[in-house]
Amino acid sequence: VGETGGVVGAGDWQPVPLVTVRAPAQRRATTNAKRVEFAVTTETATYQVTTTLAQGDIATVYGGHTRGTQQPVAVKLADQSSDNDLMQHETRVLGLLLAAPDPTAIHFAPPRDQFRTADGRLGSVFDRLDGLDLTAIRDVFRGRGEPGLPARHVVWILRRALAALG
């Protein structure tokens, strides 16, 4: 409580108060541990977290909803406080990308909220964009007896990814 993080405003980092939340202690999720249960309460809203969506190198992404409205959200929580600068930079870059009028912005989840856990890790709350990762897409095609994604699908996916990055 009383520490600051930031969000992007007018192209610059703007300090905002961060609220200490109840979140799991330093714990690495695995692909087998899909079900979780914790709440993140900020000055803006309370987010009920119920599932593990992904585990990356610096953060875990959880799925849940906003209490009251049931709006789906993704909560990204740094695994270590030493990676807080990367979490802040991600929010800043997303803010800049979403500020420009561009149809490819639909490929980016807008940041909705930020928080700091009691052990000092930063977290971000995003609108949840549903979709499949490449492993799940590959598995769909393998389930149909194909060795992997057909080239035309790979090209389609890469064109959209490159358009978003461009």
Tens-of-pLDDT digits for all 166 residues of the chain?
A: 334 444 444 444 444 444 444 444 434 433 444 889 999 999 999 999 999 988 989 999 999 999 999 999 999 999 999 999 999 999 888 888 888 777 777 778 888 999 999 999 999 999 988 777 778 888 888 888 888 888 888 898 888 888 777 7
CA 159 from centroid of its chain's CA atoms: 22
Q: Quick one: which of 44, 53, 54 has its CA closest to 111?
A: 44
Pair of tokens at residue 125? 């709350």
d(CA 2, CA 23): 18
| Entry pTM | 0.69
Measured CA to CA in angstroms, residue 40 lies from 11, 63, 88 at distances of 27, 12, 18
Measured CA to CA in angstroms, residue 131 lies from 34, 71, 76, 107, 135 at distances of 17, 16, 17, 10, 12
Burial of residue 37, with CB atoms counted within 10 A of its CB: 0-12 exposed, 13-18 middle, 19 or more buried = exposed
